[in-house]
Structure 1
Amino acid sequence: MADKQALAEERTDWAEDRTILANERTFAGWMRTGLACVAVALGLKAVFGDFQPDWLPRLVANLFCVIGIAIFWMARRNACRTTRRMDEHDTESQSTLGMTLTAAAMALGAAATGAILWWL
């Protein structure tokens, strides 16, 4: 009976490890989605380059940059929350600091892109 208990605990540990890995994949997916918003902003600026009034395409492009920044921070918040609740067994999860730095770098890049788009 103790052997069955040990096997059950081991399966539970592996399930928790899989959840940790899934959390990291989800975080990466949301980072890609945020970057896609920045790419849409760049595309809008390219498509509507000579549009009048000139502030309108800039505003819409910057809106997508802001949406990207929001996605980065929401992904970071959710991933860090999940990581803190999980116990590692056979895997080593990305640190919450690493996720925070990744989201901060992406947000800074999106903000810089928005600023450049506004002044082009």
Structure 2
Amino acid sequence: MTPRWREQGDDPDYRFTLANERTFLSWIRTALALLAGAVAIDQFAGGLAPRWIIVALAVGLGLLAILLSAVAYVRWKANEIAMRRRRAMPHSPVLSILAGAALAIGVVFVAVILLRPVLMQG
């Protein structure tokens, strides 16, 4: 059951195919790390801030992990197609979106840590 796009164009040099696969796997590793962080925050950060903030952070990391997993496959496939057709690698705005989302979650997490005394009073 080979996808039709794999039958188009020429087989790329195996070194480039393997490099593309390694990149895909690094994206998946990162998604798994984000998911592990979400689970850790949900399970072990109970006294850090009100529960709704902990849940929001954990859900944000979980959603980012889901998005990263989907993007990893889409980018791997697009790169494979470009290599088979001897075209330039496609650009994706998703990288800046993911970086922005990670930045936002990090800022919220740092803010929660710095504001912990204020948050825990109420």
- Tell me the TM-score normalized by structure 1: 0.55
The yes-or-no answer on 1:19 pairing with 2:16 is: yes
Q: Which structure's residues are more often helix, by fraction?
A: 1
User: How many residues get paired?
Assistant: 75
Where do 5+ consecutive residues of structure 2 fail to align? 1-9, 85-122
Measured against aligned partners, the alpha-carbon deviations of 1:6-30 in whole angstroms (never above 9, x if no partner) come to: xxxxxxx997221011101110110
Flag the 1:83–1:14 CA change in 2: closer, same or farther, 3 A: closer
Q: CA deviation at 1:56?
A: 1.0
C-alpha distance after superposition, 1:45-94 (max 9, x if no partner) = 1221245521110110010001111111221111000111234xxxxxxx
Q: Deviations over 1:79-113 (max 9, x none)?
A: 000111234xxxxxxxxxxxxxxxxxxxxxxxxxx
Q: After superposition, where does 1:31-46 map in structure 2 within 5 Å?
A: 31-46=28-43
| Aligned twin of 2:64 | 67
Identity %: 31
Q: Which amino acid aligns with 1:75?
A: A
Moved more, 41-50 or 53-62: 41-50
What is the alpha-carbon distance in structure 2 between the residues aligned to residue 72 and residue 61 of structure 1?
Answer: 17
Rg bigger for which structure?
1
Deviation above 4 Å: which 4+ runs of structure 1? none
Distance 1:15 1:82 in 2: 11
User: Could you tell me the TM-score, scaled by structure 2's length?
Assistant: 0.54
Structure 1 unaligned spans of 5+: 1-12, 88-120
